[in-house]
Amino acid sequence: MRRGGFTFVEILLVVVIIGILASMVLPRFAGRSEQARQQVALSDINSSISTALDMYEMDIGVYPDKLNALMEKPGDLKNWNGPYLKKKPLDPWGREYIYKPSSDKKDYELISYGRDGASGGGDDISNKQDLSGQD
């Protein structure tokens, strides 16, 4: 009496076909995770962190010296209505964002150095870069 089922050769053939299909599809998704991280960093910089900095500036009149001022009251500021952020934000690569206030504290730059973690590596993300993709 013969039982119904698949032979070893049939199962092996299916595994080989799945492997071939996966080798054709997976490379298309490989670069997407890095693109997604870059978009998350850009979103953090241009929305949540910038909003917290703008709220601080509206309350105090100038941007803070350091991002820590968004979580902890710096000194004896009477108009400080924080915390503006619950915790210090990290970029998608697990590093702190670089915050550079202007000398008059009327403007700032927020930067993530991207995957390589080094300035000028070509993957830096900043609130000062042109959002159309051109620096």
Q: What is the pLDDT of residue 132?
A: 47
* 82-105 pLDDT tens trace: 899 999 889 999 999 999 998 998
* 55-91 pLDDT tens trace: 999 999 999 999 999 999 988 888 999 899 999 889 9
Q: At what angle do helices 32-43 and 8-30 cross, to 10 degrees?
A: 40
Return the C-alpha torsion angle 14, 17, 21, 27, nearest 10. 100
Nearest to 85 by CA among 45, 112, 48, 43: 48
Among all chains, which residue has been given the structure tokens 């993957």? 123
Q: What is the pLDDT of residue 74?
A: 85
Predicted confidence (pLDDT) at residue 133 exceeds the cutoff of 50: no
Q: What is the pLDDT of residue 63?
A: 94
Nearest to 110 by CA among 43, 23, 55: 43
Structural domains for the chain: 35-126 (3.30.700.10)
Backbone φ, ψ for residue 53 (5° rounding): -65, -40
